[in-house]
Structure 1
Amino acid sequence: MITKLFTLFLFWVNVFSINIKDLNLPPEHFVYLFNSFPDIAESCSKDRNCPYKSFLDRKACWGYETDCNPKNSYHVRPRCPGDHRGWVKSKQAQYETFYTQADFGYVKEQIDELMVMCEASIPDDSSLECSKYLRFCRGRNLLLNFTGLLGRGNNLRYKMDILGPGQIGGHCNFYSDRLMKEAEHMSALQSWAPEFVNFIKTPERPIKDGKCDIVIEKPTYIMKLDATVNMYHHFCDFFNLYASLHVNSTHPTTFSKDNHILIWETFTYESAFKDAFKAFTVNPIWDLKSFRGKVACFKNVVFPLLPRMIFGLYYNTPVVSFQHSCLLQTAAELFIK
């Protein structure tokens, strides 16, 4: 427990840097934010100009929080008479399975699965934790060496060798056996295994000891995209990025748009659906050309849930048996709410 709490502490930034007006949330979502972060609620309460006072002093939670009472959660219970037999043992299990597969229960599952892979001893150390099968990872003070991209051209997409052995790492207590055990989903868009199997413990602290050509101060989301020319496939990316914000929600700045997004390919990002990224960042979208030939260090970096995970979200989503019409009704209710 102490290790877990210390690791989470290293992912936090100072509360004084938060301006509630900079948080990118629909107004009705502030009730969930206030319940998760009482300090933010108190700040709003004391600020006569806070526009979200109507959402104070109300109980609400997304459903993945450890102290979330189900009656206060965002979850919409399916009202469907579909037959559960052959799928699960009871009607209640049918509801619970649907919640885990296609609701915030999936986020809770990722949070519950988080394992420390690289443990910091002091704040200047590196740290890394990942969910099962390395589907979601987040780290601090990590080094990524992109010198191997020199001479490889601009046709790098869906490649599993962007990083070679030792080209990603940090100074920490590294649990290599634990990480390798979770590297089973070795595929370009299913997990971050192709990258993290190359992780090493560096002899020096990358940022403090000056081992970086460039240091990225702002939180950075590194993304491997599905087909950006197709709305369905590209929204696999946006859907999972939004879910990853919740998996990573140890601090309210999770919902700030002052961050960076780095696309894990050398193609310049372009898509008819590119405006969807404006919901996540106010900064230009990067690609790997920005870092070719450089050793880059990231103070806060997130490797989000990927678009083609096995039994993932949106793509490859298994859904326990419901009558089709009722499933559509439930999906519509979730969307409207």
Structure 2
Amino acid sequence: MMRGYVVQLWLVLLVLVLGVEAFPWTELHLPPEHIAIFFNNNPTVAEECRKSSSCPYKMHLDRAACWGYEDGCTAEHSYSQPSCPGDAKGWVQTKQEQISTFIEQGDFGYIKTQRNQLQVYCQPEGEEDSSLECTDHLQFCRGKNIYIDFRPLKHRKEIVHYHMDVLEMGQIGGHCRLNKELLGKNAVLISPLQSWGPEMRFFTEQEEPVQPGRKMCDRWVNTPTFIMKLDATVNMYHHFCDFFNLYTSQHLNNSHESAFSRNTQILIWETLPYRSNFGVVFDAFTKTPVWTLNHVAGERVCFKDVVFPLLPRMIFGLYYNTPIIWGCEKSGLFHAFSRHILHRLGVAGRSQGDGTIHITLLSRNTEFRRVLNEAQLIKALRSDKKFIVRKAEYSHRMDFRQQLRQDQWTDVFIGMHGAGLTHLLFLPDWAVIFELYNCFDPNCYKDLARLRGIKYITWENSTLLKPEDEGKHPDGGAHEKFTNYEFDVDEFMRLVRVGAEHVRKHRGWQNLHHHLPPSHHHQEL
């Protein structure tokens, strides 16, 4: 007994002498170019690193760097460095107006606008009270000590999916002073994926404090929680709108050192079991299995810290409904998202080139938008020895991390209009996305490529492609998305070479090959 006491006392003295690392450095897990910004946003952690003997990030201290939404962040030090080489159309008069509009529409300026909109909807009156803050129209909310009553879900027979009647009056609230007028004025966008209005309109003041051990809490969730309403999880374009807005919401919530922590809980606002080939991306945001409403049905749940993030179908929101001013490209926010996801999922970029252009052609095995002469196009590509060609068939049978690894070895990505082109988000900065044919939807992937900051090309001469038929929309009438196509080989190769020339001239690709050894060998991947 005495010996155990002595050992414990010795450990206490050792801790007092050596000190304890208050910040878990192994948990930081950010891309190297993001760490200096993290320190500048968290000066207390930066000071801990400065004093710590075990902090591995000292080289990132004292660097002038910011995201772009912080007070005092100058264009010189901002992560965002948009490019606006084209003339602006519309109401803007100057180049500076053009750049600032692009930043506000689809870059970190959007987050700055949202941060400025945050208002207190439910005011705490004591340190342990609840609180609720939201942006205009309840598009983003965050709260402390929030109560939600999920008991009625236990007896609900239909599947909850895009439903707006999950809660009723009194089933969500907190022990705080509610600004009912402000809430009523902003609870107007009553739509499944546009705002949290369908839920927050029922927020009420609770008589009992929302605290651990209270009878009102069947379950107390101490882990910071993100409650999400998702778009279509089988479709890469739509599901990545969810992930992108979750990442953006972490920035919007960036008032604490743990804003980008993976010690979180994700709760999906539906009772459908969550299944998606892209589900591995949640590993970038949480260490724990994702919950659905089935995990909390029948319980009164109290959340210590909860975030209701930006949603995928907001009016003038990010990604899906983003308006983009003419002539601009290269959003720092989209670039940061790409780097963050790749880093968190352990997908390394190319460290050295091999002197050739790597081409990935995305093959479709769907009923529509197949390339009828695909074999002929691939043969033509492989006849050019300056290219390394990969035919890719991305499906649920291929691990998504492996798909992302292949993206890092792609200089020109080719594919028909479809969700698979969303891989452009994770291509190298010098890459080209070649949308073979946009099927009368010209702006979808062109705009996404502009936001990501990579070169976009598409078919230019409609007389040099042959549709199989006029295509028939399920609701009737001809539609270009519902047929298959044959492409002129010579014109195809001309456009590919245009893309390849862009890659060769890009400084990023050139830097990759700067230290190329005198002789090298490659093989088709």
Taking structure 2 as the reference length, what is the TM-score of the superposition? 0.59
Report the CA distance between 1:48 and its aligned residue: 2.4
Cα distance, 1:121 vs structure 2:
1.4
- Equivalent in 31, 37, 40 of residue 35 of structure 1: 40
Distance 1:36 1:28 in 2: 14
The change in CA–CA distance for 1:330 and 1:314 in structure 2 (over 3 A counts) is closer
State the partner residue of 1:280.
285
Secondary structure in 1 aligned to 2:70? coil
Q: RMSD of the alignment, in Å?
A: 2.1
Instruction: Show the 5 A alignment for 1:19-34.
Output: 19-34=24-39
Q: Is the 2:106–2:451 contact (alpha carbons within 8 Å) kept by the matching residues of 1?
A: no
Query: Corresponding residue for 1:256?
Result: 261
Q: Mean alpha-carbon deviation: is it higher for 165-174 or for 17-26?
A: 17-26
* Residue equivalent to 2:276: 271
Equivalent of 2:63, from 52, 58, 79? 58
Q: Residue type matched to 1:227 in 2?
A: A
Tell me which residue corresponds to 1:292: 297
Give the fraction of aligned pairs with identical amino acids, expressed as a percent. Answer: 48
In 2, the alpha carbon distance for the partners of 1:211 and 1:125 equals: 15
Superposed displacement of residue 17, structure 1: 5.5
Partner of 2:187: 183
Q: Distance in 2 between matches of 1:172 and 1:58?
A: 41
Cα deviation, 1:150-175, whole Å, max 9, x if unaligned, reads 22136110000111111000110110
Distance in 2 (CA, whole Å) between partners of 1:142 and 1:226 is 25
Residue among 448, 453, 461 paired with 1:332: 453
Stretch of structure 1 that moved more, 43-52 or 269-278: 43-52
- Which one-letter code corresponds to 1:281 in the other structure? T
Cα contact 1:154–1:267 (8 A) shared by 2: no
- Opposite residue 145 of structure 1, the aligned amino acid is D
State the distance in 1 between where 2:93 and 2:201 align. Answer: 38
Is the aligned partner of 1:79 residue 2:84? yes
- Provide structure 1 residue ranges, at least 5 long, that are not aligned to the other structure: 1-15
Partner secondary structure for residue 302 of structure 1: strand
Relative to structure 1, the CA distance from residue 51 to residue 17 in structure 2 (aligned partners, 3 Å threshold; closer, same or farther) is closer
Conserved 8 A contact 2:132-2:144: yes
SS at match of 1:246: helix
3-state DSSP of counterpart to 2:237: helix
Counterpart CA distance in 1 for 2:125 and 2:28 is 31
1:66 Cα offset (Å): 1.5
> Alpha carbons of 1:142 and 1:17: their partners in 2 closer, same or farther (altered >3 Å)?
farther
Equivalent residue for 2:142, pick from 138, 142, 146: 138
Determine which structure has greater relative contact order: mean sequence separation of CA pairs < 8 Å that are 6+ residues apart, divided by chain length: 1
3-state SS of 2:276 partner: coil
| Alpha-carbon separation, structure 2, partners of 1:237 and 1:329 | 19
Aligned residues: 320
Alignment partner of 2:121 out of 107, 117, 120: 117
Query: In the alignment, what sits opposite 2:514?
Result: none
**Deviation by residue 1:182-230 (Cα, 9 ceiling, x = unmatched):** 1121100000000000000011112254311000001000000000000
Q: Write the distance in 2 (CA, Å) between the matches of 1:28 and 1:303.
A: 28
Give the drift of 1:20: 2.5
Offset at 1:320?
Answer: 1.1
- Partner of 2:327, secondary structure, is coil
**Letter matched to residue 44 of structure 1:** C
Instruction: Give the Cα–Cα distance (whole angstroms) in 2 for the partners of residues 293 and 134 of structure 1.
Output: 26
The one-letter code matched in structure 1 to 2:174 is G
Mark the structure with the bigger radius of gyration.
2
TM-score, structure 1 normalization: 0.90
- For 1:63, what is the secondary structure of its paired residue? coil
**Residue 18 of structure 1: CA displacement?**
3.3
Aligned-partner Cα distance in 2 for 1:322–1:23: 37
C-alpha contact 2:88 2:325 (8 A) present in aligned 1: no
1 CA distance for matches of 2:325 and 2:157?
A: 45
Please give the secondary structure, in 2, of the residue aligned with 1:100: helix
What aligned pairs does 1:63-212 form with structure 2 within 5 A after superposition? Answer: 63-84=68-89, 86-153=90-157, 155-207=159-211, 209-212=214-217
Greater Cα shift, 199-208 or 246-255:
199-208
SS in structure 2 of the partner of residue 72 of structure 1 = coil
Q: Is the 8 A contact 2:102 2:328 kept in 1?
A: no
Equivalent-residue separation in structure 2 for 1:47 and 1:90 (angstroms): 48
Structure 2 gaps, min length 5: 1-20, 330-431, 433-445, 456-507, 509-525
Q: CA deviation at 1:330?
A: 6.6
Q: Distance in 2 between matches of 1:118 and 1:169?
A: 9
Mapped to 1, the partners of 2:94 and 2:50 lie a distance apart of 45
1:179 is displaced (CA, Å) by 1.1
In terms of mean alpha carbon deviation, does 182-191 or 231-240 score higher? 182-191
Equivalent pair of 1:130/1:138 in contact (CA under 8 Å): yes
Distance 1:329 1:167, change over 3 A: closer
Contact 2:75 2:81 in 1 (8 A): no
1:273-298 CA deviation, whole Å, 9 max, x = no partner? 00010000010000001111110000
1:329 deviates by: 6.1
Which residue is 2:320 aligned to? 315
Residue pair 1:154, 1:266 contacting (<8 A) in 2 also: no
Q: SS where residue 252 of structure 1 aligns?
A: coil
User: Paired residue for 2:238, among 233, 250, 253?
Assistant: 233
SS at match of 2:453: helix
